[in-house]
Amino acid sequence: MVFTIGCKLILESNDKSIKSLQKKILDKINETQKLWPKETLNLIEVYNGKTSVLLESNEYHEFDKEEIKTVLEIVPQYFWKFIKLPILLRYNKDSEGRSWYNVLGDTWQKRFVEILITGQYSFDGIEELDVEMFLKILKKFKSLIFVSVF
């Protein structure tokens, strides 16, 4: 939200240097958005052999087969219909320098992340990951995670 307000203020300016900066920022945003998944797969689809997702750039991102195998071993089979890959996270940083990651998606996704981090799940799952938790999950499942800063 803050980023959107910032872009709006830049768009209203006529200064050439600001316009140039605005174009660079918008180009970077567009470039980054092309790397975001256009689709997600539930774990049943993954189990049945679909191991890649289409990106906004119309290219495919391939999941690591060992990471998929580990996920299918860890997550109870009765959850497979509801849990999706890839895991989508949003990076946040407050004015005091504290960083964290929000799990994007529904309660099933939050439970999924909790299972991957702790081996267990609660009713609500994990909505917010601190940097340590993020690094733990990233180390094990780097091909299954997408992070946005917007």
Q: For residue range 17-71, what is the model confidence (pLDDT) as tens digits?
A: 777 766 666 656 556 666 889 999 999 999 999 999 999 999 999 999 999 999 9
Q: Distances from the Cα of 9 to the Cαs of 5, 14, 129, in angstroms?
A: 6, 11, 31
Q: What is the DSSP letter of 63?
A: P
Closest CA relative to residue 148, chosen from 36, 41, 59, 57: 36
Percent of the chain having pLDDT more than 90? Answer: 74
Distance CA 49, CA 85 (A): 13
Q: Is the pLDDT of residue 116 over 80?
A: yes
In this structure, the chain runs to a length of: 150
Closest CA relative to residue 119, chosen from 77, 63, 150, 75: 75
- pTM score of the predicted model: 0.78
